[in-house]
Amino acid sequence: MKIAGEHVQSIWYDLNCDSVKIIDQTLLPHEFAIVELNTLSEVCDAICGMKVRGAPLIGVTAAYGVYLSLREDPDSLQQACSKLLETRPTAINLKWALERMKEDLSQARSIDIADKALEQCQLIEKEDILICESIGEAGAPILQELWESRKNSQRYLNILTHCNAGALAAVDWGTAMSVIYKASDHGIPVHVWVDETRPRNQGANLTSYELNEEGISNTVITDNAGGILMQRGEVDMCIVGTDRTLSNGDVCNKIGTYLKALSAKDNNVPFYVALPSSTIDWSIKDHKQIPIEERNSEELSHVEGVDENNEIKKVRIYPKKSKSLNLAFDVTPAKLVTGLITEKGVCEASEKGLKGLFK
């Protein structure tokens, strides 16, 4: 991704100081800060505290957490994986990355297990970049076809997205946003309706930030505005990411995604979901089995912003006595999904569709 015109990844290994570096996403868009991770505990805190977030990025970060643990204790593989698995329950990429690390390191000797772990982390990191870029290439023709049918009557192809499925949610490129970036690179004039995505405002804070840095037209809207924009014909397509996709095509994504899919269905707006294969959960058949993360109620009761002195402040916005329920994700049934965009191509949201790409 571009930050102030320079290319930056969301996570990388710094050989000079033998540490893992991340962008602290809790400070964006008001402050850009790079944080060093040197211990398993720091990685767990970064994931739990949302310094890193987004299913692909969580998986890569967890893999590096295994390396940092093994660097300190070569016999800590199982313990490290168990601790990391507890950090976020919904995104399946976390479990995928940890299982891959365990499998690849199962026969490694204590004397060189840390070095092998680092090699695997760097491989997963590079693969994530290539996979996300491939998602963009697979999805861009959909936008091209839509634009060809509309370019004589409008200035932009209007796309609605929810939460942040961009470069900040992965190592680079992202999933849903990768499709938008590739379409823009191919010359399609894109305008993005950015859901603010309460309660953490990851659309307003992160997606809009990314789009601004990339020079792509965008407008932040309230989470409840998508429906009327679709009724007015001002949305040509919806595209979102996913934290867990079931083999039947159901997708679990940031809370509010389901409502966008319902509005899209009612207004005949195509609704696509972009995902890497590591986000597919082949073991669960019923979406009710997905562990839906419930986060701290303070995310609802308080908001952060910059005051007149350019200092970041947190303020309460509703009564202390009010109770709140802060569910972080919801499930969109496959019947509401127009198609799944993956690194292997585009398919229908169904077991047949997914197995046709991933045998």
Residue that is written with structure tokens 């597919």 in the block:
280
- Sign of the Cα pseudo-torsion (334, 225, 274, 82, in order): negative
Tokens found for residue 149: 């049918």
Q: Of 190, 272, 258, 188, which is closest to residue 226 (Cα–Cα)? A: 258
Strands (E), 176-216: 190-195
To the query of whether residue 243 is one of the catalytic residues in this protein, the response is yes
Query: Distance between CA 139 and CA 153 in Å, rounded?
Result: 23
Which helix (H) or strand (E) covers residue 239, if one does? strand 237-240
Tokens found for residue 158: 């209007």
- Name the CA dihedral angle for 26, 30, 34, 35, rounded to a multiple of 10 degrees: -40
Query: Distance between CA 290 and CA 327 in Å, rounded?
Result: 13
The one-letter amino acid code at 158 reads N
- Name the CA dihedral angle for 56, 61, 63, 67, rounded to a multiple of 10 degrees: 160
Radius of gyration of the chain (CA): 20
* Catalytic, out of 172, 195, 223, 243: 243
Tokens found for residue 4: 């102030």
Burial 107-120 (b: 16+ CB within 10 A, else e): ebeeeebbebbbeb
Query: Distance between CA 170 and CA 60 in Å, rounded?
Result: 8
- Cis before 199 (ω within 30): yes
Put residue 198 in one of left, alpha, beta given phi > 0 → left and psi -120 to 50 → alpha. Answer: beta
- Sign of the Cα pseudo-torsion (213, 218, 221, 223, in order): negative
Query: Distance between CA 348 and CA 252 in Å, rounded?
Result: 16
Show which residues are catalytic. Answer: 243
